[in-house]
Amino acid sequence: MTSTATGGPLTAEGLGARVQAFLADHDPASTDRLKFLRARFDAGLAWVHYPEGLGGLGADPGLQRGVDAAFAAAGAPDNRPHTNIIGLGMAAPTILRFGTAEQQRRWLRPLWTGEEIWCQLFSEPGAGSDLANVATSAKPDGDEWVVNGQKVWTSLAHDATWAILVTRTDPAQPKHRGLTFFVCAMDSPGVDVRPLRQITGESEFNEVYLDDVRVPDAQRLGEAGQGWAVTQNTLMNERVAIGGGTIPRESGAIGELVKVWRERPELRTPGQHDQVLRFWVEAEAGRLTAERLGQQQAAGMPGPEGSGAKLTHARLNQQISSFELDLLGDEALRYTDYSARRPVLVTHSESPANWRFLRAKGNSIEGGTSEIMRNIIAERVLGLPAEARADKDTPWKDLPR
């Protein structure tokens, strides 16, 4: 942990003083937004728990909220986290844990400032919930790897500069052991991004075809064949990011429901108050749990408990958005915007209630299905016996597909 001039660990007061000193030298009102964000990163006030030189000061992760609040109170620009959720929530902690010093210096700063957007090339048509069954191949060729395959459900691929990519490099190994993890430039020759239209009408995610895409070995994260361990770490971070993505109280779906409840009393019917209150309590319990998990993630220890947060997030979002439609009645039935837009991930407050209802259907699929989350909780949290696996020691190339 970084020490102050007196030799003690950084405190909230010490960090607050650093923020004020930074603001004195970088007036948010007159400093270019990107210049401000780069300087904040270089000052160690981006991720305060990250190491010095990588956007942090080695401080306690629990101090981040105070730093962010101080910058917000000063009117400072943020890094628009909702536009780069995969980069911030999944790629960054993976790079920090498995990346080389050179990789960390190259990717973390423009990732945090939002100059480079990230996506995640994991799921495939034949490998979604069973991610270890990926078929996208990577074959060595000198100091590069040649990648061929298809990925699907890739959020933000149309905006992304970089992708985290899991591939099969040794089909003679059992499916969990023959994988390797890369970072792939999305403008590489052979990368073809195609939109997938969603039930909401828009296309925030995509299918991605990789045809003889050349990825330098210098963009490999972890050792060749270690890809499943790297992927598992990323997935645990992803579930914390999804389940803990609405940290402020009354944000997300519950915030929109409560807003309608308070501002439109004429919509209320007897018996609904108790249900709104139950939703509020569950959302607040989930928020506090997710905040603790977020601190655990920041310390580099994302655990299987994140699957519980993700499961709760999916269930609550669907139940709350459904209740909001019931509350609004006839006015919520008409859905008028089926234009094939290509948005950056939008927030709940930017869209109508019927969009939230439709979009919430994906919450129990993205980031791992609710069924898989229950299996993880059963086996890794509750310690229940795992299901028998006939494919555990069989070479991937010999598995029926």
**CATH code 1.20.140.10 region(s) in the chain:** 230-381
Q: Give the pLDDT score at 5.
A: 44
pTM of the model: 0.84
Query: Is the model's pLDDT at 336 over the cut of 80?
Result: no
Residue of 124, 238, 305, 324 marked active site? 238
Q: Tell the burial category of 388 from Cβ atoms under 10 Å away from its Cβ (0-12, 13-18, 19+).
A: exposed
Q: Give the pLDDT score at 1.
A: 47
CA neighbor of 119 nearest in space, from 234, 236, 245, 252: 234
Residue range 132-176, pLDDT digits in tens: 899 999 999 999 999 999 999 998 999 999 999 999 999 999 999
Q: Give the pLDDT score at 6.
A: 43
Q: Give the pLDDT score at 247.
A: 63
* Mean of per-residue pLDDT scores for the chain: 88
Query: Is the model's pLDDT at 130 over the cut of 90?
Result: no
Q: Give the pLDDT score at 201.
A: 84
Distance, in Å, from the CA atom of 58 to the CA atom of 54, rounded to the nearest integer, reads 10
Give residue 240's pLDDT band: very low, low, confident or very high (50, 70, 90): low
The values of phi and psi at residue 172, to 5°, are: -80, -10
Q: Give the pLDDT score at 198.
A: 87
Distance, in Å, from the CA atom of 333 to the CA atom of 390, rounded to the nearest integer, reads 47
238 noted as active-site residue: yes
Residues 6+ apart with CB under 8 A from 401: 126, 133, 135
Rounded to 5°, the CA angle 102-242-197 comes to: 100
Q: Give the pLDDT score at 300.
A: 57
Return the CATH class of domain 230-381. mainly alpha
Residue range 15-59, pLDDT digits in tens: 999 999 999 999 999 999 999 999 999 999 999 999 999 999 999
pLDDT: which is higher, 168 or 376: 168
Reduced DSSP (H G I as helix, E B as strand, rest coil) percent helix, strand, coil of the chain, to 5: 45, 15, 35
The region of weakest confidence among 42-51, 54-63, 113-122, 294-303 is: 294-303
Residue range 171-226, pLDDT digits in tens: 999 999 999 999 999 999 999 999 998 888 888 889 999 999 999 999 999 999 99
